[in-house]
Structure 1
Amino acid sequence: MALVNKVLVIGGGIGGMCAAIMLRRQGVEVDLLEVNPQWAPDGAGITISGPTLRALREIGVVEEVLRRGGSWSAVDICDANGQLNVTVPTAPTVGAEDLPGGAGIMRTVLAGILGNATQQAGANVRLGLNFEKIEQDESGAEVLFTDGSRGRYELVIGADGVNSAVRRLVVPDFAGSAFTGQGSWRAVVPRVRENSTIYMGKTTKAGMNPISATECYLFVLDKRDGTDFIPPEEWPSTLAGLLEEFGGAIGEFRARLLDGSVSHHRVLYRPLAGHMIEAPWHKGRIVLLGDAVHATTPHLASGAGMAVEGAIVLAQELSRRHSVEGALTAYAGRHYDRARLVVNASCRMGLLEQHGGSREEHTRVMVEAQQALRRPL
């Protein structure tokens, strides 16, 4: 008999959908609640590391992700004008040696793939809806929804992101994510190389990762004094300023930013923030997942991966333990160190980039973290 028979997942992002898929596989009845009536995320491309591809195979969607995205097994390091300096092969991931070293895909495409898988798994998806109140007792939680309906569940999973509302019920004194001092710029551009590519300028580093057979997404991180609002119509000119020292394919894209042929709808900016919440990650029958407990910057391309892995671990523990309390404790115990590694290493890499720190340390932190993440869950 299943440890829980009916679960509410609040948040229809990557982690929430993966949790719903894994729990449905165990025969658990799942309601998935998503406040956005369109169920569509913002964003340009997303990078998927080798370990995340391994996790997506566990979810059952890796073949479609690779078919509709772009992948690579090496990284080209180039100068600012696109002249190749060195090609670095990606190391294999334990248990997924047959998969590429990395992949990229449009965030909306990935969400669509997981959304279809969630519905095919039999989850009851409720869009344009939120929770009003959650009251719990020893055996479950009574949830009042914003449309006036109610439901009773043996477990509520808060997968509602970096600004989680469910988190207030579990960690009421959490002050919120901390700004890291960097902003992230992304734009979709034509694919010009087979591999993932890093372009090293004197003061700025830019990258291009394939997201399909014909497109890449360009990413740049810059140092920021704060989270001041930048009007979207200024995004193209601001990004062009950051790319001033680059030639080659990036220089060509910069010219299009300046002449107005690339609108702000093709550029995305967001200030970077992160947090790592200490365990326990649950209170009674409410448990947190993904960015709600561990939000990271994109330096290791593992934020989404940690949400997927967290969903897998949570479902596994719910299937093997004898009590809900024991399962939720074991979930945080197994997943905590990997999530903390991603948050801390990413934060350290960001600080080194902002303050002109040692490139050797930056490389060491990145390589050591990647080696650890390639080990089995």
Structure 2
Amino acid sequence: MVSGKKILIVGGGIGGMAAAIRLAELGGAVTLIDLDPDWRVYGAGITITGPTLRAYKRLGLIDEIEAQGAITNGSVIYDHDGTLLHEMDEPVLEEGLPATGGIMRPVLHRIMQARVKTLGIAVRLGLSVSALANRDEQDGGGVDVTFTDGGTGHFDLVVGADSVYSGVRRLAFPHMDEAQPTGQACWRISIDCPPGFTKGEFYLGHDHPAGITRCSGDKVYMWMLTPHIHRDEHYSDEELFVMLKERLGDFGGNIGWIRDTMTREDWINYRPLAAALQPKPWYVGNIVLLGDAVHATTPHLASGAGMAVESALVLAEELDRADSIADGLLAYQERRFDRCRDVVETSVTVGRMQLEGGSAEEVGTMIGDALHRLAEEY
């Protein structure tokens, strides 16, 4: 049910591009649209766990990620003062597949954008959808689409991969709600690699858990989770610099090195966290959701990107072997729901434990157990 079908992907982020790539490889006539006229992405690096690396390998992009990102052979957990607690047990999922790694988010997007262009996928930018209407089977089925520029089109399938703020979800899924704030926020800073840094590092046992991921040969990004401070206006760059430096005050190890080395030229981002596992059904007629639009998670398991790519691969696989689009969408939903629920619920629980002062051992065990579950086939 893919070859020759007209498919519209709404959202040109990680999930949308992954779906576009795989569905086009299976013979779908794919159109990808994104609201940003320049198809940009902002942000620091992202951690790529073993399950995410496996998903990118199956998407055919692992070689580019290894070449342009950074692959490491594991992670280490420290107390916030830099005292070694233990090595994180990160299972190797396949022979020759690294355990973990990282990459700058803009670099990852450029890798995926290049594959989209190589496949000849039609890309339209500065555009989204303003209306969606499923046709009855007696009228030929499919979805009538009205675009935000006033244009229209008809597609056999519409995939909403348009972020946690999904417009497709608002238009076609009235039983779903917006993602809910978790009470935490995430700080990120991109900076030069600390001397001797070789593995990913987690710093726990503090009100503000933090960590470091290598993203290239000479760059890392550091993250820190804090209770979210509500205010109406955005923080200035100067405020972000001062506040982050203060919050890193009693950290040791490489976090302390970053605190003492960071400058106002280093890119800093502050983002409140929100999460939601949307209730079934994840599809209505021939309209379906994936990625943050339907299973938005927090960064505690470093699995948001991995879950989006997995969902894209499963959607394509189930559609390709189904006798009808409806059968394929149902199989996709049932195959993904419990796995995505595990990621979202575990991540939110870890965040709540951190806000409530849970011990480093408890938090580390919960994260390690979840990574072992994610190591299982999806």
Q: TM-score, normalised by structure 1?
A: 0.93
Question: 1:306, CA displacement in angstroms?
Answer: 0.6
Matches within 5 A, 1:60-79: 60-79=60-79
Alpha-carbon spacing, 1:202–1:34, altered in 2? closer, same or farther (3 Å): closer
**Contact kept in structure 1, 2:102 and 2:216, CA below 8 Å:** yes
SS for the counterpart of 1:310 is: helix
Question: 1:109, CA displacement in angstroms?
Answer: 0.4
Alpha-carbon spacing, 1:209–1:129, altered in 2? closer, same or farther (3 Å): same
Q: 1:89-113 deviations in whole A, cap 9, x for unaligned?
A: 52111xx231111110000000000
Distance 1:247 1:361 in 2: 21
Q: Relative to structure 2, which stretch is displaced further, 190-199 or 209-218?
A: 190-199
Structure 2 counterpart of 1:145, from 140, 144, 147 = 147
Q: 1:148-197 deviations in whole A, cap 9, x for unaligned?
A: 32221000000001000000233214331110010000111222311001
**AA partner of residue 61 (structure 1):** L
Q: TM-score, normalised by structure 2?
A: 0.93
Distance 2:2 2:83 in 1: 57
Matches within 5 A, 1:138-287: 138=136, 139-192=141-194, 193-200=197-204, 202-224=206-228, 226=230, 229-233=233-237, 234-257=239-262, 261-263=263-265, 266-287=267-288
Q: 1:208-230 deviations in whole A, cap 9, x for unaligned?
A: 11000111100100112546544
**Contact kept in structure 2, 1:36 and 1:128, CA below 8 Å:** yes
Q: 1:55-112 deviations in whole A, cap 9, x for unaligned?
A: 001111011011111111221233445454433352111xx23111111000000000
**AA partner of residue 311 (structure 1):** A
Q: 1:51 aligns to what? A: 51
Q: 1:236-280 deviations in whole A, cap 9, x for unaligned?
A: 1111111010244433432355xxx324x6101100000011121
**AA partner of residue 86 (structure 1):** H
Give the superposed CA RMSD. 1.8
Q: Which runs of 5+ in 1 are unaligned?
A: none
Number of aligned residues: 371
SS for the counterpart of 1:371 is: helix
Q: 2:344 aligns to what? A: 343
Matched, 1:26 2:31: no
Q: Relative to structure 2, which stretch is displaced further, 276-285 or 202-211?
A: 202-211
Q: 2:371 aligns to what? A: 370
Q: 1:302-337 deviations in whole A, cap 9, x for unaligned?
A: 011110000000000110111111111110000111
Q: 2:17 aligns to what? A: 17
Distance 2:233 2:204 in 1: 28
**AA partner of residue 238 (structure 1):** M
% identical aligned pairs: 41
Alpha-carbon spacing, 1:194–1:27, altered in 2? closer, same or farther (3 Å): same
Alpha-carbon spacing, 1:298–1:227, altered in 2? closer, same or farther (3 Å): farther
